[in-house]
Structure 1
Amino acid sequence: MTNRAARVESWLDERADEMARLLERLVAVDSENPPGRALGRCARVLHEAMDGLGLSPEIIGVPDPSGRLDEPCVVRGTAGGGDPLVYFHGHFDVVPAQSRDQFTPLRRDGRIVGRGTADMKGGIVAMLYGAAAARELGLLGTGRIVVHLVCDEETGSVAGAGHLRDAGLVDPAALAMITAEPSGGAVWNAARGALSLRVEVRGREAHVGQADRGVNAFLRMLHVARPLERHAAEMAGRHTAFPMNAEDARGSMIVVGGLSGSGASFNVVPGSAFFTVDGRYNPEEDLGAELGRLTRLVEDAAREIDAEVSVRVTQSQPPAATPRDHPAAVALGRVVGEVHGAPARFETCPGILETRWYAQLGIPAFGHGPGLLEVSHGPGEYVDEAAVRRCAAVHALYAADMLP
């Protein structure tokens, strides 16, 4: 470890209990999304913490196209001054808990257990203290860190990150963006895109005693879905050239029929049926072309049996990637190695990341966080306190290296 890394880690170690207490406060706010509750309350906890760290916070109310979020907002803060900037980005909504006990944080054996510890309230604490350390220790030169914390990552980011982009609150001239999502200490320099569809199939209802007069939409749905499952197997065999965790599949992943349903009653020929298609696509894939392929498969299968169908897009989020040899990626790899004492692991996130909102503007964007993806969203979700502090050190030193 270099002297500057030791200096940053010493600053963070002195505040270990303070960091843990903030994480416990955040976990205790049940900001579940869906339905999107307690978002304003969580934002106010963050505002108070950021104010105490000298990060000049503000809470920005945002429109909610869904109409269901509780006080939708973005919390924005700044460390340092000047035009050159690096973004720290995160989200404070969490997936629904398996038990209400998960909102009573438990601190033991160097870990904090509770909903959102890994994804990604532990990462938020790392980013805030990383930004504060960089400012306090004079590492920012003539540049600044801008912190963005959004409220709806778990349901597509349209209100939070989408508002930041649409309102011109993301500067395309930024030198880099980093989010402390649960990468387990790896650097996620790429992430998959998402495409989700709802396919509706129509038939004609009839009483079971006159079933011959009906048209069974359920059976038609089965016929329409079969070629999509064959397509899913084909896509799973198209491997990405970007690095992946050894335990993650290298092909694009598609689930056919994650949700499905039909009919009005057990004794009525179903007059309508539906199923979903949900895919996570490698960075090399073109989502527009993929939508065209999926639509053609549905329509061709429907034509074979003279079925009436419709296809509705329910989610379309592009993949994002920054090459490993990009100067911003090289700098991050160097800093991770400096803090961890081992070469950085570059991997592709198997899901989607909010790096996409920044990458679309030409900003090199990365994920690097303390949590583990395999425990995120689960009943035993936790984060290691030491990993949170290491992540904070990486964020502080990365800003120092990127800002002139």
Structure 2
Amino acid sequence: MHDAIRAWLEPRADEMVELLTELVAVETENPPGRDLGTCARLLRDAMTRLGLAPEVIELAPSGELEEPAVVRGTAGAGEELLYFHGHFDVVPVQDRGQFTLERRDGRLIGRGTADMKGGLVSMLYGAAAARELGLLGDGRIVLHLVCDEETGSVAGAGHLRAAELADPRAVAMVTAEPSGGRIWHEACGAISLRVDIRGREAHVGQANTGVNAFAHLLHVARPVEAYAAEMAARDNMVVVGGLAGGGSNFNVVPGAAFFTVDTRYQPEEDLDAELKRLTGLIEGAAAEIGADVSVEVTQLQPPAGTSPTHPAAVALARCVGEVEGTPARFERCEGILDIRWYAQLGIPAFAYGAGRLDVSHGPAEYVDEAALHRCAAVYASYAATMLGGH
């Protein structure tokens, strides 16, 4: 089976690079979420050529997202169901040249090559290989490609959940996040907050009549910084002030200020309790000085995980080991992943991809071309194992 999969993929190596080149050139930076419809249609056309029966599901307007959409495709027609999941939005570039793919010394360099347009190419060709080679038995792969993972995936994956397009009876789900060839079977939970402080503007010549929102911000943020230090000692990450701002001019007492709080919690933490504690710290500090403060919860995402001993995990590890030639490694992802949307339904869910996390959002983002092909082979092999009984 593995020889047949490799033989199917090898003559299509240049096709895979050409598709990735086209995908990278679509500037799907998120935020703000531009050119999403353009990329969705490009994926639809590629999936049509590969026989993956795509449809573009147009989503309701959401924030700044341009033409938000989910691309859904299918390989096979049986009852057993395996999900391949991915996203086509990317983080903002450091340089516009990152939207031009460079093929050099076995690497494909450009924004999204690792996270995760390269992974999408591997998944599309892996699914097509499994279908063309008759490996799916009485099963089918359903592909879900979403548009907003980099900003929480509430519009895209959230729509799949709300519209009941994710079937709890599925045997497994895998997403092509840049795990560097490891299997991420767990992911952290997340809380994100925006804290707004209202004061009263006054010109510097009458500063005593104003209420300085920035001074209140400093007081309110101090206990959150102490909380961040405490959380770090428990292997939880908290960023205070990732975004911050306020004021209208250098010579005016600021009448408004804000800062953000972003967190990543290990799966054993109680997110509801931590949210209550965080908001309590902020509200308590505000009460001490009579500050006018409001807290908006912009993200609350639970952790997710599947045991490495689950049969679906064991099968994925075997496929990875057979293709890569080395034993598969299970790890916890220190970020949040779209596996949570499926795990919440009881579906065994994993992230496995060719890209590397340490280069994914940087100025020299790349994926190894050979790793892209190996991952495509793993996806085809996993489909054959889970659906075709190979």
Does 1:195 find its partner at 2:179? no
Q: 1:79 matched to which residue of 2? A: 75
Per-residue Cα deviation, 1:42-65 (whole angstroms, up to 9, x for no partner):
122211211121111111111123
Indicate if the aligned counterparts of 2:84 and 2:175 stay in contact, CA closer than 8 A.
Answer: yes
Q: Distance in 2 between matches of 1:175 and 1:326?
A: 11
Q: In the alignment, which residue of structure 1 is the partner of 2:229?
A: 233
In the alignment, structure 1 residue 140 sits paired with structure 2 residue 136: yes
String of CA shifts for 1:266-304, please: whole Å, max 9, x gaps: 223223322111111222222222110101111121222
Aligned to 2:162: 166
Distance change in 2, residues 1:34/1:259 (3 Å): closer
Q: Which amino acid letter does the alignment assign opposite residue 257 of structure 1? A: G
User: C-alpha separation between the residues in 1 aligned to 2:173 and 2:81?
Assistant: 9
- Change in CA separation of 1:21 and 1:293 when aligned onto 2, cut-off 3 Å: same
Q: Identify the range of structure 1 (259-268 vs 43-52) with the bigger mean alpha-carbon deviation.
A: 259-268
Structure 1 residue 275 corresponds to structure 2 residue 259: yes
Shift of 1:305: 2.1
Alignment partner of 1:102 out of 98, 101, 114: 98
Give the counterpart of 2:178 among 179, 182, 185.
Answer: 182
Partner of 1:31: 28
Give the whole-Å Cα distance in 1 for the aligned partners of 2:345 and 2:277.
27
| 1:173-209 deviation line (CA, Å, top 9, x unaligned) | 1110000111111101111122111112233333323
Q: Partners in 1 of 2:127 and 2:233 — Cα distance?
A: 42
Q: Which runs of 5+ in 1 are unaligned?
A: 239-250
Does structure 1 conserve the Cα–Cα contact (< 8 Å) formed by 2:62 and 2:68?
no
Residue 40 of structure 1: aligned partner: 37
Deviation at 1:391, TM superposition (A): 0.5
Distance 2:255 2:33 in 1: 34
C-alpha distance in 1 between matches for 2:108 and 2:335: 24
Rounded Cα–Cα distance in structure 1 between residues aligned with 2:44 and 2:247: 49
Partner of 2:215: 219
What's the % identity of the aligned pairs? 70
For residues 56 and 258 of structure 1, what CA distance do their matches in structure 2 show?
A: 42
2:312 alignment partner, one of 316, 320, 328? 328
Change (3 A) 1:168 1:274: same
State the distance in 2 between where 1:28 and 1:215 align.
48
CA distance, structure 2, for counterparts of residue 52 and residue 207 of structure 1 = 64
Residue 246 of structure 1 is matched in structure 2 by none
> Does the aligned pair in 1 maintain the 2:126–2:378 contact within 8 Å?
yes
Which string of whole-angstrom CA distances, capped at 9 and with x for unpartnered residues, describes residues 153-184 of structure 1? 12221221111111111101111000011111
Q: 2:356, 2:166 → 1: CA distance?
A: 28
Deviation by residue 1:345-389 (Cα, 9 ceiling, x = unmatched): 111112111111111111111100011111112111111111011
Structure 2 contact 113–355 (Cα < 8 Å) conserved: yes
Cα deviation for residue 225 of structure 1 reads 0.9
What secondary structure does 1:13 align onto? helix
Pairwise CA distance, 1:263:
2.5
The match for 1:18 is: 15
Bigger mean CA offset, 385-394 vs 8-17: 8-17
Provide the rounded CA distance (Å) in 2 between the counterparts of 1:402 and 1:93: 29
Match of 1:54 among 26, 41, 51: 51
Q: Which residue of 1 aligns with 2:111?
A: 115
Aligned to 1:243: none
- Alpha-carbon offset, residue 312 of structure 1: 0.9
SS at match of 2:358: coil
- Distance in 2 (CA, whole Å) between partners of 1:207 and 1:25 is 53
Distance (Å, rounded) in 2 between the aligned partners of 1:221 and 1:28: 41
Q: Structure 1, residues 224-246: CA drift from partner, whole Å, max 9, x if none?
A: 111111111111122xxxxxxxx
SS of the residue corresponding to residue 60 of structure 1 reads strand
| Correspondence for 1:64 among 42, 61, 65 | 61
Gaps of 5+ in 2: none
> Residue 310 in 1 paired to residue 294 in 2?
yes
Q: Helix, strand or coil: the match of 1:401?
A: helix
What is aligned with 2:369? 385
Q: Are 1:344 and 2:335 counterparts?
A: no
Q: Deviations over 1:308-350 (max 9, x none)?
A: 2211111222221112222211111111111111111111112
CA distance in 2, matches of 1:26, 1:350: 27
Query: Are 2:74 and 2:141, in contact at CA under 8 Å, matched by a contact in 1?
Result: yes
Give the number of equivalent residue pairs: 388
Question: Are 2:353 and 1:353 equivalent residues in the alignment?
Answer: no
Among residues 138, 148, 151, which one is paired with 2:147 in the alignment?
A: 151
Q: Which residue of 1 aligns with 2:279?
A: 295
Corresponding residue for residue 88 of structure 1: 84
Query: 1:209 maps to which residue?
Result: 205
CA distance in 2, matches of 1:24, 1:298: 47
Q: 1:71 offset after TM fit, Å?
A: 2.2
